[in-house]
Structure 1
């Protein structure tokens, strides 16, 4: 009786409600899982990775199978050989473990591989087919089964190992941090939940085409990013660009374009797929692709639409100055000054400061000074800038 009363109190301490989370890492997790990409959550012990996955399974209405990778042998993932009546003709099937059978019978589910960085290299090798091909021994898991793993950094993992490059390259890597405000609110009975992106089927063809153009266009400009294996073990065990991870990035983009995924969550997911450097350059490329054509802007400097965000304005200014530098004529140079002046009139003049210095340095001796310099008087507040511009335009 005493134990039953104690159990009732324990249940009360565990009761909690949920509310939509606004964390970009939560949104990136939901995006990757919905896109059926294996996800690896990196974070220190005790910060809620397992609890997050339990809530994610509830939000997606999926059964959850948790497998602690560090306490299993390779045969638990490769399958146990079970000879049949006629192994000479039928071979020896590799029997899967019970958790794989449960996932097969449920037809859909979430496989959570915990403590991945504490698994030995032999176990990591055995997990390769499980993560990418969803195959355990002789049993193919249902295509609707999602895979999420969690790992502690090697320095904080029990008997930690760096992730092998072939296994690391099969995941979308997401850093997992604790937010004190979220923890406080959760302990008070309300935890954030993951809301999967709302997909619009009518947008699917356009979203896929746009994603293909984005990835192939970027890799055409930066072919050196097609495959870039890090040289150090830490880098190899994290996200890095390869044909496999670019395919992941393409799928993430397609799902983001076909849904209500916000820009920050997409950026987090892309960084987790192809690494920080490649993702940041891809995002800058995409920003520029969404901006007005700099050549069209030069042709009609009074008619182009000024972007709303400051980073987009900077990207447009940089693009305009770069195309003038590639093909310099006095007409194009003066037109670029009109662009700068129009942007300076619409917002803080310091937005155009860097572009003004760069553009001034492109002037040939016989070109006239732009009349727009007199209008951009705010440049005088920036030390040394106005004198630099005047010297170039004198």
Structure 2
């Protein structure tokens, strides 16, 4: 499987030859069509979006006409447009199409032609399939897959947050997901037919709440029931609770950017919510930063210094384990700014710890 994040995929897709058709695979609601539209915008191409599961053979190849001697197929207007000028042709739900429509689509993918009508040389072709046992689909054999450059799209939470922050989703929804990543997508053990959250449903909920004028009014009688229909019961409960206490919420980014500004809020959170904030801070540091600059390091140290001893040690553990060996520079910077606050929990100063380590090393050397 060629599993990729959206960031990696878009970088690769930008470098592929124009004539290479791209197949995106992944569960519903992860933003496959949005990614195609983003790429089309980068290429400066208008998108022609066709959902093949809803098309008949005539919708795909056109209808016949005769001049009294021979029969010709008149291509659909959308296909003709992709032949006359550069377009981004997006064939969605390919594996839910009828066999006849699939065969016509494969001719477009392989030959860039359909019934004698050739695509414009600068037209790009994308296709998408929903990879899930919950759908009735037509399997694509290896010979057909071989006609595509195939990617199994696994967008990260950071991918979605970056996209959502670009004016696509209300800040309240983005902040909720940024601090509660497990609610972005449906649980893997979700029952078929049950309403669950998805990247698409959070966007739609944001739009609905905004249009209704209640996106910043979680106490409104329609706020909770409106959420239910988009993201389901469990996610609604969590989001509604978050929205009602938004004034007291603190993000990991806020702590690292200007801890003094949110210090009073942190003090009022209580130990349970401070533990949740530790998760947010750790997530932000280990997933968004490659190292800590001086301002971030001092803010992180000040935050940890205000935590109870047990939580301070917990924060240290999450930060160092999160950085791991994959990002030694980040681990070093966390150690540089925060180790002293952790040692204080055990009544040891940084200087004393260094001397103890040096002394131990000296004794070992003497024994040798």
- Per the normalisation by structure 2, the TM-score is 0.42
Q: Which has the higher contact order (CA 8 A, sep 6+)?
A: 1
- Per the normalisation by structure 1, the TM-score is 0.39
